[in-house]
Chain A
């Protein structure tokens, strides 16, 4: 079955960067898309961007350009998201999810990123 397994919780200092991973199984990752989302607990969900594993092509929400960088490693069927120059406003839960004609049918379990000195 399809599974998206995200890396563990992160505690990082302001100004630092963090790289989150989303390891997939159960489907053909190399010809698929992956999207990433941000959710501050108790709040709504924001779409960060999407990457096509076939050629690494990306599309970003304007709000997250310069903040998030999406990459993939097709040899390990893993998607990554780098978050840079972190501030307390970046503290949130981040999800990866596979798009399917506009909706998102499979989600990772989410990873909590806490930015604190």
Chain B
């Protein structure tokens, strides 16, 4: 299975720019997607196809990358962005998710 590696946690101040990385163990082309999950809630799709912003998601969120290295950027970060962010690949079977990056606000 394709392993997705994310840094476990980040702490930033409101108004700053944050980048969350996801590295795949093999190429996933642009079949990478990003989700935000808050405690007790279902995941929410933010970015699909590596760089496409899901409808209704603020333009503060953006995604980039292809192949094995991907990035989710939030600029500027707001207090409500406190959550865990997961990457998910759909290029290789089975779909797999990263372990998640917990974003905390200082």
Residues of chain A whose beta carbon lies under 8 Å from any beta carbon of chain B? 35, 43-47, 61-63, 95, 97, 100-105, 107-110
Given contacts A47-B95, A47-B97, A104-B43, list 20 more A-B pairs with CB under 8 A: A44-B86, A44-B98, A44-B99, A44-B100, A45-B97, A46-B97, A61-B94, A62-B94, A63-B94, A95-B43, A97-B42, A101-B90, A102-B90, A103-B48, A103-B49, A104-B33, A104-B35, A104-B88, A105-B54, A107-B44
A103 touches B33 (CB 8 A): yes
Say whether A44 contacts B97, CB under 8 Å: yes
Given contacts A102-B31, A102-B33, A103-B88, contact A47 B94 (CB under 8 A): yes
> In the complex the two chains form, what is the Cα distance from A62 to B86 in whole Å?
22
Name B residues whose Cβ lies closer than 8 Å to a Cβ of A: 31, 33, 35, 41-45, 48-49, 54, 86, 88, 90-91, 94-100
Determine whether the beta carbon of B42 is less than 8 Å from that of A45: no
Residues of B within 8 A of A109 (CB): 41-42
Question: Closest Cβ of chain A: how far from B5's Cβ, in Å?
Answer: 11
Q: Which of B91, B96, B98 contacts A47 (CB 8 A)?
A: B96
